[in-house]
Amino acid sequence: MAHSDPQILAGRRILLGVSGGIAAYKTVELARLRVSVGCDVRVVMTPGATQFIGPLTLQAVTGWPVSTDTFDPQQEAAMGHIALARWADLIVIAPASANCIAGLHAGQADTLLHTVCLASTTPLALAPAMNSQMWQHPATQANIQALQQRGVQCWGPAEGVQACGDTGPGRLQEPTELYQHIVAYFTRGSLAGCHLLLTAGPTREPLDAVRYIGNRSSGKMGYAIAKAAAAQGARVTLVSGPTALACPPDITRHQVQTAQQMYDQVMAQVSEADIFVACAAVADYRPETCAEHKIKKGTVPRSLTMVPNPDILAAVAGLPEPPYCLGFAAETDQVLTQAETKRKAKKISLLAANRVSATAGFDADENALTLLSDQGRIHLPQQSKQRLAQQLIHHLAEQYHAYLTIQNS
Ligand code: PMT
């Protein structure tokens, strides 16, 4: 059995959809292959699929209850359709019947599987299996082409003798071939299949209707990291403070102003994240009150009462099941000592320390970083933030996969 790179699949979360077709029996072998290399596999079956194989079989192979019913109160309490949609790194439907494909194209939500797909932004791959006339029918071809244009991957079908006796295209690809597609999917880049959540830019803490306390972060470092991570195959969600920068392609951006808004947005996204990168320069304190109108000259208070903001990175790292965390530390003096203290205090796996100077760090086009982890220190010399981000992502991916291997061993 070809397990070409089991390490790349360790810890991946794959949602296996099964629709109604005789080839559903092969899905058991596919589920078994994936579980054997450390994938976390959950299964959703359409009612039609349960006519061909029993949910108990797939439950026994994956170790998880199989979901079949949108309105099952027990399933909804444990991992409902929205949670399932958010949980997966990849959804694979094998076999994907003609009816299943038509429903996906139309955006139907009449089965749990269709509802999950409709509620999900997770990449979707279909392994079609059906009678060859059904596969070649213009309706099916139009449906599959439209789905492919939306970015859905199509693996197969294979050609050969079918269960009904016909010969032609329509057979489900063998489980080992489907397995190889999955390995290929996750090896497109060092972060392929990972969801990376990132903060970038400054925060603004309002004093009145027009004034705020802010800092000189431009967002350039964080946006360069977002681009470099996407180029390595990661799905990137960027929570950005106010910057003049355009959102890079293929990246989902949520724009915020204050530290509290950044915290709220990160907390809303973090359950889906494999990696969290805190590059934003977040205000540690905010004025206790914000005047509704512009404070008039002469009435501006001589002193301000400040209250602490939530520490986003510490809150994420302190979650019961945190993502792998990369923090930053911007320092003017005793850079490495201060940074190591922050790393330990916030319990961060990896911390990137940068010295604040006239030519690097805040608002500059260049930066230099020293990466601190339990494995030691790596210095990345001063260079453009784009090149630096690529090197940072290379080291981050290495350390993340090493961490996953330990977690799964
Ligand atoms: O945006 P640029 O102009 O390109 O500049 C990039 C940068 C210098 C801002 C960036 O490289 C950087 O160092 N970002 C972190 C800046 C910082 O203020 O760090 P800190 O030492 O205050 O915070 C330590 C870590 O905790 C950071 O990861 C920070 O994002 C995080 N933090 C801090 C406070 C808070 N309330 N919540 C947080 O998440």
Q: Is 164 one of the annotated active-site residues of the chain?
A: yes
Q: Are residues 216 and 86 in the same domain?
A: no
Q: How remote is the CA of residue 250 from the centroid of ligand 1, in Å? A: 24
Q: How remote is the CA of residue 187 from the centroid of ligand 1, in Å? A: 31
**Closest residue (by CA) to atom 16 of ligand 1?**
281
Predicted confidence at residue 75, as pLDDT, reads 56
Predicted confidence at residue 2, as pLDDT, reads 35
**Closest residue (by CA) to atom 5 of ligand 1?**
362
What are the start-end ranges of the H helices in 37-124? 55-62, 73-79, 81-87, 98-106, 112-118
- 1: in domain: no
Q: Is the CB of 330 under 6 A from ligand 1?
A: yes
Q: Write down the residue that tokens 């790596």 correspond to.
A: 378
- 335-371 residue pLDDT tens: 999 999 999 999 999 999 999 998 999 999 999 999 9
Predicted confidence at residue 140, as pLDDT, reads 97
Q: Are residues 287 and 320 in the same domain?
A: yes
Of 146, 161, 187, the position where a domain reaches its end is 187
Q: Are residues 132 and 262 in the same domain?
A: no
Distances (CA, A) of 134 to 87, 139, 156, 157: 33, 9, 14, 12
Predicted confidence at residue 404, as pLDDT, reads 86
**Closest residue (by CA) to atom 23 of ligand 1?**
329
Residue 114: strand, helix, or coil: helix
Ligand 1 site-directed mutation target among 225, 282, 357, 388, most atoms within 8 Å of CB:
282
Q: Are residues 358 and 242 in the same domain?
A: yes
- CA 229, CA 193: separation in Å to the nearest integer? 11
Around 318, how many Cα atoms within 13 Å sit in the side-chain half-sphere? 9
CATH classification at residue 118: 3.40.50.1950
Of 187, 212, 247, the position where a domain reaches its end is 187
CB within 8 A of 137, min separation 6: which ones? 98
Q: Which of 39, 117, 154, 164 is catalytic?
A: 164
Predicted confidence at residue 393, as pLDDT, reads 94
Q: Are residues 140 and 84 in the same domain?
A: yes
Predicted confidence at residue 4, as pLDDT, reads 46
- 21-71 residue pLDDT tens: 999 999 999 998 777 777 889 999 999 999 999 999 999 999 999 998 877
- 338: in domain: yes
Residue 325, class by beta-carbon neighbours within 10 Å (0-12 exposed, 13-18 middle, 19+ buried)? buried
Q: What pTM was computed for the model?
A: 0.66
Q: Is the CB of 362 under 6 A from ligand 1?
A: yes
Say if CB 119 and CB 82 are below 8 A apart: yes
Q: How remote is the CA of residue 279 from the centroid of ligand 1, in Å? A: 5
Domain interval for residue 110: 6-187
Q: Which atom of ligand 1 is nearest to the CA of 328?
A: 28
Q: Is the CB of 131 under 6 A from ligand 1?
A: no
Predicted confidence at residue 279, as pLDDT, reads 98
Question: Nearest Cα to 169, choosing from 203, 197, 133, 120?
Answer: 133
Q: Is the CB of 276 under 6 A from ligand 1?
A: no
- 341: in domain: yes
End-to-end Cα distance, the chain: 21
DSSP assignment of 122-171, as one string?
A: S-EEEEE-S-HHHHHSHHHHHHHHHHHHTT-EE--PEEEE-TTS-EEEEE
Count of structural domains within the chain:
2
Q: How remote is the CA of residue 405 from the centroid of ligand 1, in Å? A: 29
Question: Nearest Cα to 15, choosing from 121, 87, 71, 81?
Answer: 87
Weakly modelled stretches of the chain, pLDDT under 70: 1-7, 72-79
Residue 292 falls in which region: left (phi positive, over 0), alpha (psi -120 to 50) or beta: alpha
**Closest residue (by CA) to atom 24 of ligand 1?**
329
Which helix (DSSP H) or strand (DSSP E) does residue 407 occupy?
helix 385-408
Q: How remote is the CA of residue 330 from the centroid of ligand 1, in Å? A: 6
